[in-house]
C-alpha cells in the first residue's frame, strides 16, 4: 500500500484549490437546497487543509445530504442509512493516515444512527462529523425527523408530532466530544472556517450544519431567515474552552441560531488511533505468525 | 477397548467439566485422539453442567453416541441433559452414593444399564482433601484405575493446575485422586474394560477448538481488522483475536452492536485491509443490511456465523444447523454470496482461510457457517502446517489501470481491480446505491441488469470447486448420503459402519454450501436412486436448498432434527439399512 505521507514527501504538491475537490457528478439536490452551500464550503475548507483528495475518505449514510461524498473527488463511501460512523471508524482504524470525513442528515445521525454517536465519541477517533440538520426527512419526502420541533405537521404526523426534538449540540457535548460547532450556509465564510477548524482538531469533531430543506422544511428555517436570525458566538464573547457555558448555550437549540465554535477542548486527549498504535508498538513481535 | 466414551454431569460447582479437561489434556500428552464436548443448561454459570469425552487410539469423527460410562454426581442434573448423555444396556453407571438411589431403581426412564455402582465420591473427597470440591479428582482416580487411563499424565495435569494454589491445596487434590484410584483398585468392576495403549500420531498434535482455529486462520490469512459484539457461542473468536491481532499491526473493535461491528469491518475492507466479523444467529440477523452493502460495493468481508439453536435467542448453547437459509438469503436484492461450512474442528482453519481467499478474489462477503459444537468442542487434532495453505490477496489496480480508473469496470471475469483510499488515481465512490462502471449512482434498468450480471457471473468458477467437497464410499453406489457441518462427522462414521456390513454406499459432504455447485451434485447423483440428507435443522434446510438447484434422485429424503437432539451413527445406519431393503424390494419387483 502506498503510504500517503511518503507520497507527499516525494513530490511537494502544488497548492490545491476548491475546484480540485469538486467531482464531475452534478448534484441532484433541489435548487435552493442548503446542501449546495455545505459542499461548497467543504471544497474551500479542504483546499485550505491541503491534503490531496486520494488521502481523504468521505463516508455518509443515506439521505439527500448523504449524497455529498459523490460530489467530491475524495474516496467516497455512500453507505447505508445511519451507519456512516461505524464504517468511518473501521476506515480510520485500518489506515490512521487518512483524513476521514463523515456526513449525513439529522435522521441518519440522530434517529437510525443515534446509537453510534456516543460510542464514536467515547473512542475519540480523529474524524470530522458533519450533520446537515434540516429538521426533516428530505429524501423520503418530508416526514418528521428527530430534530423537528414538537407539533411539526408532516405526512407521518398530520396532527402535529408529539415528541420533543433531540438536541444534537447538547447530546454531543454531553457525550464528551472535543470539538462542537454549528454553522449555516447563509454564512459561507463562517461555515468554511468552522469546517476547516473541525478538520484540524485532533480528535472527534462535530459540526451541526443548519442546512435548510427548501422542499419540505419549515418556511421559517430557510437561508434568508437564517441571515436575520444567526448570532455568532464570537460576537457574544463566548469562550470556546468553557464546556459548561457551551452546554448552556446549546440549550437554546431550536430557539436561537448560534454559529461558531461551542466547545474546543484546549487539551485534546490522545486519539483512538494513537492508543492503538501504542498498543501495536508495545506488542509487535517480529516474525509472529498466525498458525 | 480402542474407543471409549464417558459422560459426566453435576451442578456448576462440581468441577465435572474441569475433570473432562484434565482427562483430554492427559490423553493428548499420552498420544490418544479425543473429543471433549461441554454442555451447560444455559449460558449462565452455576447451572447444571456436563461433559462427554471420547478417547480413541485412532482419529475420532464425532463425540459419539451412547455412553460406555456415565458418571452421575446427582440425578436431577444428569437427567436434564437427556439425549445428550444417552445410556443403554452397554453402559456402566457410576453414581454418587449419597443420592441413596438403589442400583435396581435408577431414574433412567426404564433403561437397564450393563451395571451400576454407587460410590461415596463426596465422602472420599471430604476425607482425603477436606473439601467436597475435590470430588472431581476422586472421579479422575476412579476412571484412571478402572479403565486404564494414563495415571501419570492425569496427575501431572492436576499438579500443573493446582501449582499456583499452594502446597496444601495441591496435596489435598492429589490425595483425592489417590483415594479414587485406590477405591477402584479395591473394588473391581463386574466386567473390566481397559483402554488400549495409545498409538501416537507421527506428527505433533494439539488440543484446540473451532473458534480458536478460526481466529488463528484469520490471522494466517492476513486478517488485520475484526469488528464484532460478544455473543454465545462465537465470542471466543473475538477473544482469541483480541490477544494477537495487534501484534500483526491489526486492530479490533468491540463495537456497540453487531451492525457497528460489521460496519467497521466493511470500512476497514474499503480502506484496504482484510476484515472479519463473527457472530451467532441474533447478531447475524442484524448484520444482514451490511452484508448486502458489501455485496453491491463489491468489498471483501468474512462473516462467521457460529450457529446455535434459533430462532431468536433460541438455545444459545446448543448445536443447530438452522441458519443456512439466513446465510444464503438474508440480505435483500438479487445477490449471491458464498457460504462455506467447516466439517471438523481442524477443518475450521482451512475453511476460514478459504473464506478469506474467496472474499478477496471475488470481492464479496463470504459467510462461514460454523456451529456450536465445532466451535466449542475441544479436540485433539494434528498441528496445523501453514505451508499447506495458499493465501490470496485482492487485485489492486496498478500502472495503466489507474489511468481513467473505473472501479466497477466490466471485465471477462466480472472482477474489477479494487483500489483503496491512499492510492493516488484510484479515487472512486463506493455505494450501496446502484452505480455504473465509474461508481456514479444510477437508476437505469439496463445498467442495473448488467451490474447484477457482473456480480453473479463472477462466482461461476465456484461451480467447479470440487476441492470444497468431501466424497467417500463406492463411487458407483446406488444409495447415498449428504451431510454438512459437525453432523458430517456422524454421517461419516455411519457410512463406515454400513460399509463394514457390506452395504455399498457413498457420502458427499459440501464445505461450499452456496452457490450450489450443480455439476458436483449432478455427478454425485448420477446412478443414485436413493439419497438422504442428514442435518440438524427442523426443516432440513440443506435438503431443500439442493432441491432448489439440482435434479435430485427419485427418492431424496432427509433425516433432520431440531437442535440439541443428538443424531447417532446407529440411527443413520438404520436409515441406510432401510434404504437398502427398499431398493432390494424395488429391484425384485422389476
Ligand atoms: C434502513 C433504512 N430505513 C429507511 C430508509 C429510508 N430513508 C432514506 S433517507 C431517510 C431519512 C432521510 O432524512 P435525513 O437523514 O435527515 O437526511 P435528509 O434526506 O434530510 O438529508 C430514510 C427514512 C433507508 N434508506 N434505509
Ligand atoms: S428534498 Fe430537501 S434536503 Fe432533499 S435535496 Fe431537496 S431541498 Fe435538499
The pLDDT tens digits for B382-398 are 999 999 999 999 999 99
Q: Chain centroid to CA B324: how far?
A: 14
B502-529: average pLDDT:
97
Task: Return d(Cα B4, Cα A158) in angstroms, integer.
Answer: 72
Q: DSSP labels for B6-58?
A: EEEEEEGGG-HHHHHHHHHHHHHHHT-EEEEEEEESSSSTTSEEEEEEEEESS
Provide the pairing of β-strand B339-340 with B512-514.
antiparallel
B499-524: average pLDDT:
98
Whether residue B37 is preceded by a cis peptide bond, meaning omega within 30 degrees of 0, is no
Q: What is the pLDDT of residues A12-36, one digit of tens each?
A: 667 999 999 999 999 999 999 999 9
Q: Which member of B220, B424, B433 has the closest CB to residue A2? A: B424
Predicted confidence band at A289 (pLDDT cuts at 50, 70, 90)? very low
Mark yes or no for CB contact A55/B266 under 8 Å.
Answer: no
Where helices occur in B148-166 by DSSP H, the ranges are: 151-162
> B9 CB near a chain A CB, below 8 Å?
no
Q: What is the CATH number of the domain that holds A121?
A: 3.40.50.970
Percent of chain B predicted with pLDDT > 90: 93
Q: What pLDDT is stored for residue B43 in this prediction?
A: 57
Task: Return d(Cα B113, Cα B92) in angstroms, integer.
Answer: 6
Residues B448 and B470 in one domain: no
Q: CB within 8 A of B210, min separation 6: which ones?
A: B306, B342, B345, B348, B370, B374, B375, B376, B377
What count of other Cβ atoms lies within 10 Å of the Cβ of residue B73? 25
Mark yes or no for CB contact B386/A283 under 8 Å.
Answer: no
Would you say residue A115 lies in a domain? yes
Q: What is the pLDDT of residues A149-189, one digit of tens each?
A: 999 999 999 999 999 999 999 999 999 999 999 999 999 99
Q: Which listed ligand is nearest to A62 at the C-alpha?
A: 1
Q: Phi first, then psi: what are they for B208, rounded to 5°?
A: -155, -175
Number of domains in chain A: 1
Q: What is the pLDDT of residues B243-300, one digit of tens each?
A: 999 999 999 999 999 999 999 999 999 999 999 999 999 999 999 999 999 999 999 9
State the cell numbers at A63. Answer: 439521505
Where helices occur in chain A by DSSP H, the ranges are: 4-10, 35-49, 84-94, 106-107, 116-123, 168-175, 188-200, 223-229, 243-250, 272-283
Residues B235 and B104 in one domain: no
State the cell numbers at A238. Answer: 463566548
* Chain A hits for B385, Cβ within 8 Å: 291
Order of strands across the sheet with B555-560? B469-473, B506-510, B479-483, B530-535, B555-560
- Asked if B575 and B559 count as a contact pair (C-beta separation under 8 A), the reply is yes
Mark yes or no for CB contact B267/A77 under 8 Å.
Answer: yes
For residue B454, the surrounding DSSP H or E stretch is: helix B445-457
Number of domains in chain B: 4
Would you say residue A101 lies in a domain? yes
Chain A, chain B: beta-carbon pairs less than 8 Å apart: 191
Predicted confidence band at B590 (pLDDT cuts at 50, 70, 90)? confident
Would you say residue A136 lies in a domain? yes
Q: What is the pLDDT of residues B364-375, one digit of tens each?
A: 999 999 999 999
Helix (H, G, I), strand (E, B) or coil at B313: coil
Residues B225 and B145 in one domain: no
Pick the residue whose CA is nearest to atom 6 on ligand 2. A30
Residue that is last in its domain, among B134, B153, B186: B186
Residues B310 and B400 in one domain: no
* Chain B hits for A3, Cβ within 8 Å: 422
Would you say residue B201 lies in a domain? no
Where helices occur in B273-430 by DSSP H, the ranges are: 281-296, 324-329, 345-362, 372-376
B432-457: average pLDDT:
98
What count of other Cβ atoms lies within 10 Å of the Cβ of residue B410? 14
* Chain A hits for B384, Cβ within 8 Å: 291
Q: What is the pLDDT of residues B75-116, one digit of tens each?
A: 999 998 888 899 999 999 999 999 999 999 999 989 999 999
Q: What is the pLDDT of residues B2-42, one digit of tens each?
A: 999 999 999 888 899 999 999 999 999 999 999 999 988 76
Q: What pLDDT is stored for residue A8 in this prediction?
A: 45
Inform me whether the pLDDT recorded for A290 exceeds 60: no
- Asked if A82 and A110 count as a contact pair (C-beta separation under 8 A), the reply is no
Would you say residue A289 lies in a domain? no
Residues B283 and B335 in one domain: yes
**Which B positions 438-467 lie with beta carbon below 8 A of chain A?**
439-441
Percent of chain A predicted with pLDDT > 90: 92
Q: DSSP labels for A114-166?
A: TTHHHHHHHH--SEEEEEEE-SEETTTTSEE-TTSPTT--BTTBTT---SPPP
Q: Phi first, then psi: what are they for B338, rounded to 5°?
A: -65, 140
Predicted confidence band at A285 (pLDDT cuts at 50, 70, 90)? low
Would you say residue A262 lies in a domain? yes
Mark yes or no for CB contact A94/B297 under 8 Å.
Answer: no
Residues B424 and B359 in one domain: no
Inform me whether the pLDDT recorded for A291 exceeds 50: no
* Chain A hits for B208, Cβ within 8 Å: none
Q: What is the mean pLDDT of chain B?
A: 96
Q: DSSP labels for B335-365?
A: ----EE--SSHHHHHHHHHHHHHHHHHHTSE
Q: What is the pLDDT of residues B38-80, one digit of tens each?
A: 988 765 666 789 999 999 999 999 999 899 999 999 999 999 8
Q: Which member of B216, B293, B422 has the closest CB to residue A98? A: B422
Q: What pLDDT is stored for residue B192 in this prediction?
A: 79
Task: Return d(Cα B579, Cα B541) in angstroms, integer.
Answer: 21
Q: What is the mean pLDDT of chain A?
A: 94
Q: What is the CATH number of the domain that holds B496?
A: 3.40.50.920
Would you say residue B279 lies in a domain? yes
Q: Chain centroid to CA B28: how far?
A: 20
Q: What pLDDT is stored for residue B111 in this prediction?
A: 94
Would you say residue A1 lies in a domain? no
Percent of chain B predicted with pLDDT > 70: 99
Whether residue B311 is preceded by a cis peptide bond, meaning omega within 30 degrees of 0, is yes
Q: What is the pLDDT of residues B345-355, one digit of tens each?
A: 999 999 999 99
Residues B332 and B373 in one domain: yes
Q: What pLDDT is stored for residue A4 in this prediction?
A: 44
Residues B585 and B520 in one domain: yes
B152-163: average pLDDT:
95
Q: What pLDDT is stored for residue A100 in this prediction?
A: 98
Residue that is last in its domain, among B436, B458, B480: B458
The residue range of the domain holding B314 is 208-382
Would you say residue B192 lies in a domain? no
* Chain A hits for B266, Cβ within 8 Å: 79, 87, 90
Task: Return d(Cα A264, Cα A201) in angstroms, integer.
Answer: 8
The residue range of the domain holding A232 is 13-284
State the cell numbers at B457. Answer: 457471473
B324-353: average pLDDT:
96
Inform me whether the pLDDT recorded for A6 exceeds 60: no
Would you say residue B513 lies in a domain? yes
Would you say residue A2 lies in a domain? no
Task: Return d(Cα A125, Cα A273) in angstroms, integer.
Answer: 6
Q: What pLDDT is stored for residue B83 in this prediction?
A: 85
Q: Phi first, then psi: what are they for B275, rounded to 5°?
A: -135, 155
> B393 CB near a chain A CB, below 8 Å?
no
Which atom in ligand 1 lies closest to the alpha carbon of residue A139?
19
Would you say residue A290 lies in a domain? no
Q: Is A113 in the pocket of ligand 1 (CB under 6 A)?
A: no
> B297 CB near a chain A CB, below 8 Å?
yes
Mark yes or no for CB contact B246/A283 under 8 Å.
Answer: yes
Q: What pLDDT is stored for residue A2 in this prediction?
A: 41
Pick the residue whose CA is nearest to atom 1 on ligand 1. A81
Give the Å distances, CA to CA, from B196 to A222, B60, B182: 86, 15, 21
Inform me whether the pLDDT recorded for A287 exceeds 70: no
- Asked if B543 and B558 count as a contact pair (C-beta separation under 8 A), the reply is yes
Would you say residue B193 lies in a domain? no
Amino acid at each position: 500500500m502506498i503510504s500517503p505521507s511518503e507520497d507527499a514527501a516525494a513530490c511537494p504538491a502544488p497548492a490545491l484549490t476548491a475546484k480540485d475537490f469538486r467531482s464531475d457528478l452534478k448534484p441532484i439536490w433541489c435548487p435552493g437546497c442548503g446542501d449546495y452551500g455545505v459542499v461548497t464550503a467543504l471544497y474551500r475548507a479542504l483546499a485550505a487543509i491541503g491534503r490531496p483528495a486520494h488521502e481523504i475518505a468521505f463516508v455518509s449514510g443515506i439521505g439527500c445530504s448523504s449524497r455529498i461524498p459523490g460530489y467530491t473527488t475524495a474516496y467516497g463511501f455512500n453507505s447505508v442509512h445511519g451507519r456512516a460512523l461505524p464504517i468511518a471508524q473501521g476506515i480510520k482504524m485500518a489506515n490512521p493516515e487518512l483524513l476521514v470525513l463523515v456526513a449525513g442528515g439529522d435522521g441518519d445521525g440522530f434517529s437510525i444512527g443515534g446509537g453510534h454517536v456516543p460510542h464514536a465519541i467515547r473512542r475519540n477517533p480523529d474524524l470530522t462529523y458533519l450533520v446537515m440538520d434540516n429538521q426533516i426527512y428530505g429524501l423520503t419526502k418530508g416526514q418528521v425527523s428527530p430534530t423537528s420541533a414538537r407539533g411539526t405537521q408532516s405526512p407521518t404526523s398530520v396532527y402535529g408530532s408529539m415528541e420533543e426534538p433531540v438536541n444534537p449540540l447538547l447530546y454531543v457535548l454531553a457525550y464528551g466530544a472535543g470539538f462542537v460547532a454549528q454553522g449555516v450556509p447563509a454564512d459561507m465564510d463562517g461555515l468554511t472556517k468552522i469546517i476547516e477548524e473541525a478538520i484540524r482538531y485532533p480528535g472527534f469533531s462535530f459540526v451541526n450544519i443548519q442546512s435548510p430543506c427548501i422542499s419540505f422544511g419549515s418556511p421559517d428555517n430557510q437561508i434568508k431567515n437564517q441571515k436575520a436570525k444567526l448570532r455568532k458566538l464570537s460576537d457574544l464573547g463566548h469562550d470556546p474552552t468553557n464546556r459548561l457555558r457551551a452546554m448552556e448555550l446549546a440549550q437554546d437549540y431550536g430557539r436561537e441560531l448560534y454559529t461558531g465554535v461551542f466547545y474546543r477542548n484546549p487539551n485534546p486527549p490522545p486519539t483512538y488511533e494513537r492508543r492503538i498504535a501504542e498498543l501495536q508498538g508495545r506488542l509487535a513481535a517480529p516474525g509472529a505468525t498466525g498458525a | 477397548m480402542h474407543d471409549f466414551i464417558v459422560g459426566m454431569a453435576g451442578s456448576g460447582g462440581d468441577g465435572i467439566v474441569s475433570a473432562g479437561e484434565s482427562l483430554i489434556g492427559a490423553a493428548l500428552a499420552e498420544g490418544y485422539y479425543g473429543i471433549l464436548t461441554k454442555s451447560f443448561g444455559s449460558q449462565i454459570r452455576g447451572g447444571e453442567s456436563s461433559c462427554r469425552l471420547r478417547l480413541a487410539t485412532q482419529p475420532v469423527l464425532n463425540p459419539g453416541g451412547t455412553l460406555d460410562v456415565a458418571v452421575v454426581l446427582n440425578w436431577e442434573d444428569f437427567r436434564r441433559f437427556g439425549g445428550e448423555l444417552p445410556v443403554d444396556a452397554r453402559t456402566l453407571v457410576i453414581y454418587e452414593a449419597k443420592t441413596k438411589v438403589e442400583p435396581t431403581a435408577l431414574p433412567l426412564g426404564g433403561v437397564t444399564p450393563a451395571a451400576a455402582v454407587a460410590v461415596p465420591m463426596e465422602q472420599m473427597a471430604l476425607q482425603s482433601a477436606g473439601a467436597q470440591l475435590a470430588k472431581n479428582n476422586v472421579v479422575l482416580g476412579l476412571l484412571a484405575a478402572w479403565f486404564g487411563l494414563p495415571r501419570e499424565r492425569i496427575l501431572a495435569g492436576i499438579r500443573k493446575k493446582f501449582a499456583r494454589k499452594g502446597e496444601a491445596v495441591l496435596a489435598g487434590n492429589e490425595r483425592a485422586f489417590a483415594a479414587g484410584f485406590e477405591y477402584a483398585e479395591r473394588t473391581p468392576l463386574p466386567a473390566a474394560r481397559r483402554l488400549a495403549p495409545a498409538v501416537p500420531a507421527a506428527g505433533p498434535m494439539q488440543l484446540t477448538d473451532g473458534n480458536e482455529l478460526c481466529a488463528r486462520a484469520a490471522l494466517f490469512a492476513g486478517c488485520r481488522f475484526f469488528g464484532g459484539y460478544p455473543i454465545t457461542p462465537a465470542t471466543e473468536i473475538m477473544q482469541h483475536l483480541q490477544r494477537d491481532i495487534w501484534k500483526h499491526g491489526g486492530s479490533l473493535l468491540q463495537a456497540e452492536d453487531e451492525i457497528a461491528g460489521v460496519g467497521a469491518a466493511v470500512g476497514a475492507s474499503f480502506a484496504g485491509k482484510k476484515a472479519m466479523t463473527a457472530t451467532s444467529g441474533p447478531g447475524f440477523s442484524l448484520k444482514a443490511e451490511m452484508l448486502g452493502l458489501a455485496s453491491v460495493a463489491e468489498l471483501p468481508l468474512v462473516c462467521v456465523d457460529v450457529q446455535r439453536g434459533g430462532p431468536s435467542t433460541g438455545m444459545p448453547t446448543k448445536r443447530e444447523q438452522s441458519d443456512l437459509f439466513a446465510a444464503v438469503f438474508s440480505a435483500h436484492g438479487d445477490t449471491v454470496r458464498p457460504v462455506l461450512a467447516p466439517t471438523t474442528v481442524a477443518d475450521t482453519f482451512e475453511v476460514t482461510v478459504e473464506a478469506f481467499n474467496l472474499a478477496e478474489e471475488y470481492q464479496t462477503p463470504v459467510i462461514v457457517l460454523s456451529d456450536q459444537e465445532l466451535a466449542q468442542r475441544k479436540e485433539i487434532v494434528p498441528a496445523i502446517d501453514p505451508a499447506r495453505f495458499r493465501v490470496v490477496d485482492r487485485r489492486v489496480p496498478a500502472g495503466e489501470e489507474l489511468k481513467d480508473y473505473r472501479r466497477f469496470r466490466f471485465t471477462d471475469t466480472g472482477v474489477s481491480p479494487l483500489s483503496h483510499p491512499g492510492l493516488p488515481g484510484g479515487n472512486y465512490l463506493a455505494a450501496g446505491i446502484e452505480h455504473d462502471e465509474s461508481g456514479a449512482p444510477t437508476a437505469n434498468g439496463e445498467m442495473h441488469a448488467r451490474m447484477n450480471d457482473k456480480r453473479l457471473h463472477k462466482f461461476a468458477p465456484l461451480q467447479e470447486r470440487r476441492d470444497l467437497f468431501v466424497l467417500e464410499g463406492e463411487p458407483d453406489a446406488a444409495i447415498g448420503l449428504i451431510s454438512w457441518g459437525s453432523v458430517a462427522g456422524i454421517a461419516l462414521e455411519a457410512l463406515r459402519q454400513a460399509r463394514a456390513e457390506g452395504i455399498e454406499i457413498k457420502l458427499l459432504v459440501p464445505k461450499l454450501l452456496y452457490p450450489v455447485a450443480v455439476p458436483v451434485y449432478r455427478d454425485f447423483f448420477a446412478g443414485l436412486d436413493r439419497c438422504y440428507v442428514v442435518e440438524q435443522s427442523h426443516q432440513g434446510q440443506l435438503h431443500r436448498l439442493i432441491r432448489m438447484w439440482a435434479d435430485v434422485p427419485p427418492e431424496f429424503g432427509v433425516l433432520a432434527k431440531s437442535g440439541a437432539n443428538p443424531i447417532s451413527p446407529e440411527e443413520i445406519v438404520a436409515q441406510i439399512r432401510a434404504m437398502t431393503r427398499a431398493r432390494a424390494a424395488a429391484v425384485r419387483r422389476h
